[in-house]
Structure 1
Amino acid sequence: MKPVQYHRITDIGDPYFRQMHELMQRVFPPEEVLEYELWAEPLQDPGIRVFVAVLNGEVVGATEYRYYEDLQVAMTDFTIIGRDGLGIGPFLARRRMADLRSVVAACGGKFFGMFAEIYNPQLAGKLEFGGVNAMNSFVRREVLAHLGYRKLDTDYVHPSWHNDGEAVHGLDLCFMPIADEEQASVPASLVWSFLERYYAVLPQKPDAWYRMVENLKQRENVALLPI
């Protein structure tokens, strides 16, 4: 068996992009998947890093992330494991972190930590993720916990990627400290600044999202809790 390749996608014309998009549609709920054609512009953004794990010509995993130099934080947009038992999760986590550190070094910045959204199965109810056990919400939360993520102490909602103004509930916003693994909280200003930047691409945002952001603007810090 050939070794797994870590391949970056920068164009929807990349032959591996269609495989990745089909994989996303199999494992994620519809409101979490951006339409095929709408990927064209984001993929050309040098700050958005989309990689796939390729094994024998097949996309068996994928991850998207970005680093905000001014905020000194990263965001894990998604991590997808397409097949169990191949070690795709650890492979993606290691290669992603190595790539992120190279990005931070190239711009002479610092790396304060990384955000990630994760479904809370106790809030979202039963969720199916394409029959891939590693994508089960309970499993993914345990993995994030082992990586060092903790959930932010705030009720979380995010806009649907359908850009229809609908609110998506049942998730937690998490943060993995890098600079100080023992830190107990993060500045609320960092959280709301990040959210406004990250979701600026969606003009149609629900009232619940705006209320959440305004609530954060009234706070000084947001505690980090166990997942």
Structure 2
Amino acid sequence: MKPLYRLYARILRRQLAGLPMPQHVAIAMDGNRRWARGAGYDDVRIGHRFGAEHLELFLQWCSDAGIRCVTAWVASADNIRRRDSAEVDYLMELTETVVADHVRRDHRWRLHVAGQLDLLPDSTARALKEAVEETRDRPGAGELTIAIGYSGRLEVLDAVRAVLDEAAASGRSVAEVAESLSEDEISRHLYVPGLPDPDLVIRTSGELRMSDFLLWQATRSEIEFCELYWPAFREVDLLRALRTYGRRRLERFS
């Protein structure tokens, strides 16, 4: 790490002192393909490899900053359905060999998975489920959610379906469900219930939209859009996002 970069990182950490910090940070890791093209790679899958490996660094930075809950968007349901099959297969392989394996080794995190696992290859779904089980009993660990095969709209739809299925099993009528339906009841049926909503959502690559990411959970979140492609995202960019978050919260609630 270059001396000027280290100095700047220290300055940013000092500026965070006394500012409110997010409990839960969500990251939309966008721009792997464009980063690969810009770096001169003909095969855009190289960008996915750099992106998957970069998540390990991001989790280290979050842990160092005291962030105890992270949600990382690996692949949307639309991307899995529509992207070139060879590219999707490679991304799934990376999910098994880089993401799941890293979480097994990194005892600072307990893994959760959000998304439609039936969209994934059997080997990928199995690797993620095994990693969830292996990391379940880690006292004091932070909470890491991998969003894969994920759609915010489908998550809400699946939650409503689960509420109706539960009501039917207990003999409640549709009218009774409609009368008692609440935000809390839908939240209890989301893919990963019980976690705090994200305080801060970061999206890389310069796109100024949420793109179906955490639509239910992020209604009150601070949103930070970063121009950098995901593999180029640095610790100082996270620290700046945390500084912006803290200053916004101070202004809003002071």
TM normalised by structure 1 equals 0.31
Using CA pairs under 8 Å that are at least 6 residues apart, name the structure with larger relative contact order, 1 or 2.
2
In terms of fraction of residues, the more strand-rich structure is 1
Name the one with the larger helix percent: 2
Over alpha carbons, which structure has the higher Rg? Answer: 2
**TM-score, normalised via structure 2 length:** 0.29
